[in-house]
Structure 1
Amino acid sequence: MAELRDLKKQERNLRKTFDAIQHFLDTFDAERHASQLDIRLQRLDMAFSEFHVVRRKIELLTDNVSYLSEADTKESDEERAERLETLAEAREDENVRIMLDIEDQYCHLKSELVHWKADMFGSATAGHCSTSQDTAVGFSRVKLPDIRLPTFSGKIKEWVTFRDTFRSLIHENHQLTTMDRFTYLKSSLAGEALQEISAVEMSSVNYDVAWCMLEKRYENTKLIVKAHLDSLFSVEAMKRENYETLNKLIGDFEKNLLMLDKMGENTSNWSTILVHMIC
């Protein structure tokens, strides 16, 4: 189909835009290229949005393609339905793979561009004395791209730590745009947690939607408390009597108790049972 060929050509050209931005980053020279950072960021966002539109059109056209060849005319209705279902599943898997690949590339390129932009901003203001007015408008001397954000894969025990760290560094940082926050969020998720928001299109208006989806899914006090209680009861016994294993035993207990206290559980009255467990 001519329309499908044209869409695939558009998709290839958009991928070339991503490759061109990657080349720009690979050969970045601060003196010559600093003024292009904003333009490259805008072009990247535009290309990513266009890619979503083109990919969706390709999916719709592909869904309408008939997979019944002359060699298949002797198939029973049941065999034909099963074969077409298998092909549809394979096609859907391929579509998901393509979108995940392009989102990974987008997040990588966006974070690199934001890093260089922050680096240029830091260099430009290095000689500027901090004033109360700077503090009032929220200027920061911390370069966020250099901060290692925690990765959240969907384990309920890790949610509170991830949530608090991400809120402090990214979610409540008013120097970042909502698109920047979304980029950081995507790059900080993995596994089940990333899959949870995979259907949310990358755009500035959808950041709050994605964050609310994560909170709705993982902000479950009862499950978090249960997870830490399970960890307390599953701490491995010491196999050798030495400092390292004793330190690990006590550390595991303290870590889970601190998180339980944070979740509102009063563990100060658990002394008898905890001593019994440790012994």
Structure 2
Amino acid sequence: MKKMIISALAVLLLAGCNDPKIDATTEDTLKSSLQEVRNSLDEADKPRFDKAVEVVALSNISIPELLQAKEKENDAFIQNKFKETLNGKSGKEVISLADEITRKQADEKRQAVAREIATLEANKAHRDLATEKLQAFELKSSRIEYGKEVNGDAPVTLIMTITNPEKIPVYGVSWVIERFIDGKPYPDTARTFSYEFSQPLAAGERGEITLSLGNKTAWANDGHLTPEAFSVWLYRADGADKKPIYNMVAFNDNDEARLQQLKQQAGK
């Protein structure tokens, strides 16, 4: 019995050693050996081998290398990479390697999706926190000042007050301002502005922001403006490094759609 087992193993080993290999020495040997290797496989494995050759060959070429080779019309580089990857491999080895590469790529994709989901969820949490925190800054329209009138029009300056409720200085803010008439927004007046304080607004400090709005006719046909006619809301406050302490636009509708798509993709 022992001799029979040893003999059977020897036959299997010899059969494995006799499996044809891919010979990428020349274009002719590559083509002929690929066909020979394919012919040596079972019918069920032949389609797998065809796909595996593509997977294994491309795995040895990075996207930047591929783009650079195409830009320089360097077909020889791509062909050499192709040969290096496949040379000396049997059909089963190519299929096995392709399966390993595919599994690795799938794992990397899952990890990338998980990282992106984590980033988007963190941004969403920051947006929600910012929405709550920025309301406490109490940015309000305070008074209107007019410049010298010319041809029936005059420059308008809006003075706003703001309080820093944070425990750290605020170096700049960004907000949206909109003109209202009878409780309704005036067409095409919503604008965004940013302001950098000449001296940082200290913790608990109340300050003023002077905003030039251009001419009064740009905001109202009646030419009469009051502070109450302007709705303002803060969407960002910056720290010393000019990076946002709070930022409501860190996460938007497109980000939400992307997050839901990724969660569905990840089966969450």
**TM-score with structure 1 length normalisation?**
0.26
User: For the pair shown, which has the larger CA radius of gyration, 1 or 2?
Assistant: 2
**TM-score with structure 2 length normalisation?**
0.27
Structure number with higher relative contact order (C-alpha < 8 Å, ≥ 6 residues apart): 2
